[in-house]
Structure 1
């Protein structure tokens, strides 16, 4: 099987020659350099023979063009941060305008997609990372968004329409650039942040507008649910064909999720540290300091949880940039059923 055939088979719950896998991390040393970021990520994907490539634009690319001030460090494991939000008063929501996808920070991520497409089109499926409109709104305003939703819901919804149309512009431009799908990330569909009723009002309608703009145009369409206490069943009903969340440390597990949805599951590899009952770190991520055998057993355990069907192996979110290569190779080795022994 080639990578496209393997991913398509997993999406359809068909037999695969080996369970497809991809791991992704931010490459923050190259965040502001579209060509450098593309070259680094393509090289990494080829080195570890990943079955698809998730584009890794920095997580704040969607706010700078609306006035947020972002500070860049261009250093591994030190991502850009917002030093001045784009929304500082409730009235600011009414000042947002629909943006094209061809200039500013959005335009840089489009360039990034074009560079990757030139390198891997037809060889490795690749998906662009986009954020739900409500997630963009929170990145623009911080947690004042939650108050503004209550104080002036109409104005916030007006802004969400603007963000939605801008995101759709970006989606269409990425399809023209050759992407094979989208990684649609919501960081707000969690009961730790808001109620399901609130998300149905301020999240779902705009999410669906964005997803419906591409779901018949691309073949690998992933919904990512970020955080704990995610609204899994709500997002699982979205018109996507693959679901991703932190399955190794929040509910549901892969096995539980298989009982609740027949969509392809993307996960099985824990990217986060381990905590005790007091939320104190007791161990780093398995990918950071686990042995080869521990990592291989971890991966095979996930494969066995769903009998290797309808599964793409990957992390619940980004892995640490300092993950040693031996861990990436160990995870990759684990999907080959012919390998029975490991190197200690």
Structure 2
């Protein structure tokens, strides 16, 4: 059996699926987030249990606010990844307008680089290892009102100059962080954009406050890494046409579920021959008995393969897997692919 590295490298080069289908999943480790050794162990153990062919490093989504000085209490609930903020780095337009730049010697960023380096050393040449970054606009949200876009949208429309200053500072911080990660040998990044959807911003706002920063990062990666994916967060009204030509090797998004105006696998396959990383609905597919979950995944696999039409594909979720189900259910992803003769 070829390694995950070999399977995915072949897809990047040929733009075709091949005889074997790579799989991936990822989810948060709330109790392990504060301790590097625990986080490393969880990453390795879950990748082994799930037979993942790709390591998407599931960094705590609040690492950048912590790096910028947030008073943050890590979650102690295994079913809830996000902890409690007692203060935020950005509380006003004035804060955004004077936000500084961090380099990779920042304690929080340096700790992330170190544990990512351990993971790279474990899987180098066996599985691609991707570090997690957010685009600057998504970071503004997380530094101000985490997981709630309203304040960021208000700032965008009331004080775009202050917002632009913060975006440029965060882009430079991302640059320093990425340089350090590349020095550790990462294969690429999982680049997240949370605002690339018409339900939040206009096309003009997207092209001003999102696209240039994603393009900047893609150019910075070029020739220094070989496999990065753009995670377009959300379910409906995604601005895929603005993103499709950016120089990322793969796209990840929610292709199925109950939301209207979803972007299907067939939609994306018509637009691009790049690697598509998607296929099942992390929000609904893992609830019920193992037999029910397995039947759902088998149906998702059949449908995804039909829509994909032989293109480059990694069978995976549209976002993080749920924390309120038995982890053993995630091994059913591999079972379904294996029974389909693709492993």
Which TM-score applies when normalising by structure 2? 0.90
Match of residue 58 from structure 2: 56
Match of residue 90 from structure 1: 93
State the SS of the aligned residue for 2:131.
strand
Shift, 1:15, TM fit: 4.7
Distance in 2 separating the partners of 1:199 and 1:112? 33
Q: Select 1:295's aligned residue among 290, 294, 297.
A: 297
Q: Select 1:166's aligned residue among 155, 166, 173.
A: 173
Q: Does 1:201 align with 2:200?
A: no
Matches within 5 A, 1:78-117: 78-79=80-81, 80-117=83-120
Match of residue 9 from structure 1: 10
Distance in 2 separating the partners of 1:288 and 1:255? 26
Deviates more, 1:326-335 or 1:38-47: 326-335
Preserved CA contact (<8 Å) 1:295 1:327: no
Distance in 2 separating the partners of 1:208 and 1:295? 34
Match of residue 226 from structure 1: 233
Shift, 1:302, TM fit: 1.4
Preserved CA contact (<8 Å) 2:281 2:317: yes
Q: Does 1:182 align with 2:156?
A: no
Shift, 1:136, TM fit: 0.3
Shift, 1:337, TM fit: 5.6
Preserved CA contact (<8 Å) 2:23 2:315: yes
Shift, 1:338, TM fit: 5.7
Distance in 2 separating the partners of 1:322 and 1:215? 38
Distance in 2 separating the partners of 1:52 and 1:302? 19
Shift, 1:186, TM fit: 0.3
Q: Select 1:148's aligned residue among 135, 150, 155.
A: 155
Distance in 2 separating the partners of 1:248 and 1:37? 30
- What are the ranges of 5 or more consecutive residues in structure 1 without an aligned counterpart? 273-284
User: Alpha carbon RMSD of aligned pairs, Å?
Assistant: 1.9
Which deviations, in whole Å up to 9, do the C-alpha atoms of 1:91-143 show, x marking residues without a partner? 11133111112333222211220121222222221100100011001111233
Q: Does 1:242 align with 2:250?
A: yes
Say if 1:157 and 1:306 are closer, same or farther in 2 by CA, change over 3 A.
same
- What are the ranges of 5 or more consecutive residues in structure 2 without an aligned counterpart? none
Match of residue 222 from structure 2: 215
Shift, 1:308, TM fit: 4.0
Q: Select 1:133's aligned residue among 133, 136, 147.
A: 136
Distance in 2 separating the partners of 1:13 and 1:125? 17
State the SS of the aligned residue for 1:335.
helix
Say if 1:192 and 1:84 are closer, same or farther in 2 by CA, change over 3 A.
farther
Distance in 2 separating the partners of 1:295 and 1:118? 32
Deviates more, 1:12-21 or 1:157-166: 12-21
Distance in 2 separating the partners of 1:38 and 1:307? 37
Distance in 1 separating the partners of 2:219 and 2:85? 30
Match of residue 271 from structure 2: 260
Say if 1:13 and 1:323 are closer, same or farther in 2 by CA, change over 3 A.
farther
Shift, 1:323, TM fit: 3.6
Preserved CA contact (<8 Å) 1:60 1:81: no
Distance in 1 separating the partners of 2:63 and 2:228? 20
Preserved CA contact (<8 Å) 2:50 2:331: yes
Matches within 5 A, 1:274-313: 285-289=284-288, 290-313=292-315
Match of residue 23 from structure 2: 21
Shift, 1:314, TM fit: 0.7
Runs of 4+ in 1 over 6 A off after TM superposition: none
